[in-house]
Structure 1
Amino acid sequence: MIYLDYAATTPMCQEAIAAYAEAASVYFGNESSLHDIGTKAKQLLALCRRELAAMINGEAEGIYFTSGGTEANLLAIRSLAAAYRHKGNHLITTEIEHASLHHLFKQLETEGYTVTYLPVDRFGRIRLADLERAITPKTILASIQHANSEIGTIQPLADIGRLLRAHGVLFHSDCVQTFAKIQLDVQDIRLDSLSVSAHKVYGPKGVGAVYINPRRHWKPVFPGATHESGFRPGTVNVPGIAAFITAAQQLHRRMADEQSRLERLRNRLLHAIAAKQLPVTVEGHPDFRLAHIIGLSVAGYEGQLVMLECNRAGIAISTGSACQVGLQAPSRTMLAVGKTPEEAKQFIRISLGAATTEAEIDQFVSTLERLTSA
């Protein structure tokens, strides 16, 4: 089967599988144990922290490993918001955040916080003027994604970071879709915290991480937790973390070459759609977007039908974020960029990855052509 759903998850790379096997057999100790076997696991974990910190130009003391991107988002926001609650109760986010954050902010509204949901333009980008207007003396934190998981639009994080830092507002970003895909520098962006996930970078599922600037205070979500410096409970998944960092390093090292290759594949897809005059609209920003995520609206066809027809033809695509599959409501992102509910349901997402070839792109376009000309 042709796999064009890498934004949902990626297969583990061979290097990550080998790292997991070695760590599970050699570094199997509980890193909290005081004996030598536990110490070996702790040393490997410390190395993984340093390596992850280096990839984002952060500090090892700020790395906390989690069970994935969703938990990373939840713990980062809750631990920071609780620590700075004495300064205010106003939070800022966007209308197009990942479901894990959208649902979290809705929950925080029931707990005494007020939340501003910034609108986006038709390309999925926030306006800095809207962000500045939203800031109040009670604003303590803003959470704005690095790039959208459905249309790939990249937010101007450096400009956002400068603005928030000038107003003394903490800045968190969900970087799950961008980590090891495009340059990510927490110092340059002025990020106070970020979240990443292993299974988006050819690592294992069930592993992720939070970075919090060591100079920022946070309050434990789980009082009494002893693992990860009290950031979360539960025995640390050392083999999974070793596999995560190995996979991330492999992708990070070839980042520029891989992005160029994905850009060529993207252009091949879009040029073919245009040449065949298919009833398809490309969603997202034309310039500020990830190469590997391509959001498309197929006029006159519900995305679910297109997805099922592609599946019948042996091609795996999606109708949006995997975390929203099964919901009847149309994509929040599509509604936020100005689509009607009917138009929003015509959305599909193609996401490219390490094994994607030109022949696979051509086969997808041919399938789309057969469907729309029937």
Structure 2
Amino acid sequence: MLIAVVCVLVSAVPVAADDDVPLIADMDIEALLEQELSNLNVDDFYLLEHLIDIDNKVKDQQSRMYGVRDEANRIFESFGAIETQILLDRQQSETVLDKAFEKVVRTYNAPAEPGHEEEPVLADPPKDVLLGAATRGDLEGVEMIAPASIPQAVDPWPTDEREFEGPSVLVLLLEELERSQANQAELRETLKDEILALGAQLENIEESENELEAAIRGLRAELVAINAREIEWDPESITPETIILPSSAPITSGWGRRWHPILRKMRMHYGTDFDGARGSPVWAAHQGVVETATYMKDFGRIIVLNHGNGFSTLYAHLNKIRVKYGEVVRQGQRIGDIGSSGLSTGPHLHFEIRIDHVLRNPKKYLPY
């Protein structure tokens, strides 16, 4: 049997002191289980259904955890791909920046080469132009007069005649960086989806854990009820502080004012509701005498147990009553089945407790 169930079953084994609790590893689990199961009555074999339910929940939890692990691995792979791409981008960016700084430093630190400035050449004064000679009437040496020269535009910056083969390396690097950023954006979107999926799976696991916890708690309550039947209580030692849970179902509604779903108005709720399946067992919270076993308009099928000294418990909305008026019942004895009789919207057990004949909040005394 699975470990969780083993832990539940052996919890009923008597232990010495809190500081001397035996370890499961030190026990003969199979022998103890065989001994404990041999003490069950035929009516107690509904426990097998709960054991199967717990086993199925553990298996389901395991399969969901495998799914979470696979999803987490995919997320880690996406993180790795993004991290690798960012590293490459960083390396290329550093390369471009280093080369740019190196070029700037070389340009500003290069020394001027002395001795290459050309001395101005003194040229003979040019001959007079034709217009000047004509105004002076000096045309004797007209054949010697040279026309004014046409000035030519001079480009002071020499042209580099070299041609690059292919596009600029810097342009290529920038284009590659753009592609890298686009890929990273796509990976990030994928990563977001994977993280959302992982979150949903984790929520499913949490829900599964809550269901498993409820199933284990319910089985523990059933085992406590079974063991309680073996105890013969002294009437003077029966107190509200020593009651057990009347049902293994989870509590869904407690003491206080609430909206009544049938009467459609605010109304005081003087008990605790256990949301169980129809036909689930209802146990006597303590040893007592059946004071009421009848049908009422509001409560439907109802049982009231008198435990003595003004202490009593009430069980309402039952599907079936298994005891009779005046009968003495043991703590943990099955006295009825959960139902939906009376003013009820669904199967549940309504449980009340009176101390000194006064209604009290059951949650203060229930070992829940």
Q: Structure 1-normalised TM-score?
A: 0.17
User: Which structure is larger by alpha-carbon Rg, 1 or 2?
Assistant: 2
TM-score by length of 2: 0.18
